[in-house]
């Protein structure tokens, strides 16, 4: 005689938990099924329920199309994301998921995903964004009970890893560093690039600075906002994360330039276009071109691919070489980022400095 699968609980019921076909966050959501009759009756209930999930009977009937749902998903569920993130999703939906525009949401299958991936062949970063976008849209559809959870699992399993390696971050080269300090730059351009070099700010954080954010007495810069470009126009927003609200010291090597510039300001904003308004996208591009041109004029080596972020990477790399005089926690605080990020990106520097054999010998010296 077959042993009963379930036993009667103290409450008098045979019971178990089963996946109801939905998610809470990224985790499956379960419900409890009960029977007051027998273990066999509960087994039948479990089978019936799981069959309903498999046969799509628990999703709502709808004729909504993928493109319609995707646009609503972006407007509703991604409304709180940065404009740059929203623009990325919109670009993928409008330009790279056109093959799904006439497909009903409930009919989305592996072939539609693979078609979008194939159409972006040779562009691994775009493929990575396509994968991320489709996965998030379809997971949301499962939560809204508009797409079967079991089919989403099959779709997700079919999504092979995208081989994408971002450009390797680098610090300033020796000749770029020499050219930086030798270049003849305007007072504004010099102050901007010195803040990047000496304080490790993100481009948007530096562009948002006002004279009231620079404490000349304490020799610190307070970061509490950032600029992002909406097309051509600048727009103020909060720093990238809560860690982005911070105060960083101004090192002696760049303090005189920053002090003289701030004291001589007529307006409030540190970096402006010619008319005195906040720096526009084209205004920033022209400023950066002037900076690179000024550096190139005093360098015998070609200065190629120099960006504001390279200055930030240079700042962090140099700080990591100062460990243990400064901790990883403090470096993360100065960068307005997490310790996890510092370790992931700069761990090779920490390992380079590490001397395990020497540390053991010193620790156990008689």
pLDDT exceeds 50 at position 78: yes
Burial call 87-104: b when 16+ CB within 10 Å, e when fewer: ebbbebbeebbeebeebe
**Are 110 and 191 in the same domain?**
no
In this structure, what are the phi and psi dihedrals at residue 81, rounded to the nearest 5 degrees?
Answer: -80, 165
For residue 232, give both structure tokens: 């051509």
Is residue 179 located within the same domain as residue 145? Answer: no
Shared domain for 229 and 262, answered yes or no, is yes
Angle made by CA atoms 194, 198, 200, in degrees to the nearest 5: 105
Q: How many domains does the chain have?
A: 3
pLDDT at 36: 85
In 10 A of CB 198, how many CB atoms? 21
- For residue 364, what pLDDT band results from cuts at 50, 70 and 90? very low
Q: Identify whether residues 152 and 179 lie together within a single domain.
A: no
**Structure-block tokens of residue 103:** 């497909």
Its domain, for residue 119, covers: 66-157
pLDDT at 359 over 50: no
Residue 82 belongs to a domain with what CATH number? 1.10.150.130
Where residue 363 falls among pLDDT bands split at 50, 70, 90?
very low
Element of type H or E holding 263: helix 255-263
Mean pLDDT of the region 222-244: 89
Q: What are phi and psi of 210, to 5 degrees?
A: -120, 170
Q: How far is Cα 362 from Cα 130, in angstroms, rounded to an integer?
A: 53
Q: What is the mean pLDDT of residues 61-89?
A: 85
Tell me if 322 is assigned to some domain: yes
Mean pLDDT confidence for 3-21: 83
Q: pTM score, two decimals?
A: 0.66
| E strand or H helix at 233 | strand 233-237
**Res 56 pLDDT > 80:** no
CA 93 to each of CA 60, 74, 79, 119, 133: distance values in angstroms, whole numbers, following the listed order: 24, 9, 15, 14, 8
In terms of domains, do 71 and 111 share one?
Answer: yes
Same domain for 218 and 333, yes or no, is: yes
Any idea how long the chain is?
366
Is the per-residue pLDDT at 254 higher than 70?
yes
Q: What is the mean pLDDT of residues 192-218?
A: 96
- Torsion, CA 289, CA 295, CA 301, CA 303, rounded to 10: -30
**Cβ contact 20:31 at 8 Å:** yes
């Amino acid at each position: 005689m077959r042993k009963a699968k379930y036993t009667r609980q103290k409450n008098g019921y045979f019971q178990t938990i089963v996946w109801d076909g939905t998610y809470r966050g990224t985790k499956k959501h379960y419900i409890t099924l009960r029977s007051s009759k027998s273990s066999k009756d509960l087994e039948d209930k479990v089978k019936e329920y799981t069959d309903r999930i498999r046969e799509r009977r628990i999703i709502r009937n709808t004729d909504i199309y993928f493109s319609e749902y995707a646009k609503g998903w972006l407007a509703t569920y991604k409304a709180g994301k940065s404009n740059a993130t929203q623009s990325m999703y919109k670009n993928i939906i409008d330009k790279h998921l056109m093959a799904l525009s006439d497909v009903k949401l409930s009919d989305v299958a592996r072939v539609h995903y693979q078609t979008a991936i194939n159409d972006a062949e040779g562009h691994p970063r775009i493929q990575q964004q396509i994968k991320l976008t489709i996965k998030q849209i379809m997971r949301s559809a499962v939560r809204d009970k508009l797409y079967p959870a079991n089919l989403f699992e099959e779709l997700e399993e079919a999504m092979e890893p995208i081989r994408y390696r971002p450009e390797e971050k680098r610090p300033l080269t020796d000749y770029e560093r020499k050219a930086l300090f030798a270049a003849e730059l305007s007072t504004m351009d010099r102050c901007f690039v010195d803040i990047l070099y000496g304080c490790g700010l993100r481009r948007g954080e530096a562009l948002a600075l006002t004279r009231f954010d620079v404490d000349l007495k304490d020799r610190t810069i307070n970061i509490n906002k950032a600029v992002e470009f909406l097309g051509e126009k600048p727009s103020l927003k909060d720093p990238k994360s809560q860690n982005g609200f911070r105060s960083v010291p101004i090192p002696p090597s760049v303090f005189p330039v920053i002090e003289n510039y701030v004291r001589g300001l007529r307006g409030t904003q540190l970096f402006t276009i010619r008319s005195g308004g906040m720096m526009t996208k084209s205004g920033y591009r022209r400023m950066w071109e002037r900076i690179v041109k000024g550096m190139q004029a005093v360098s015998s080596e070609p200065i190629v691919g120099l960006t504001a972020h390279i200055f930030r990477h240079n700042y962090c790399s140099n700080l990591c070489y100062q460990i243990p005089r400064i901790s990883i926690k403090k470096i993360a605080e100065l960068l307005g980022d997490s310790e996890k990020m510092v370790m992931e990106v700069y761990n090779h520097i920490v390992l380079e400095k590490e001397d395990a054999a020497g540390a053991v010998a010193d620790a156990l010296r008689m």
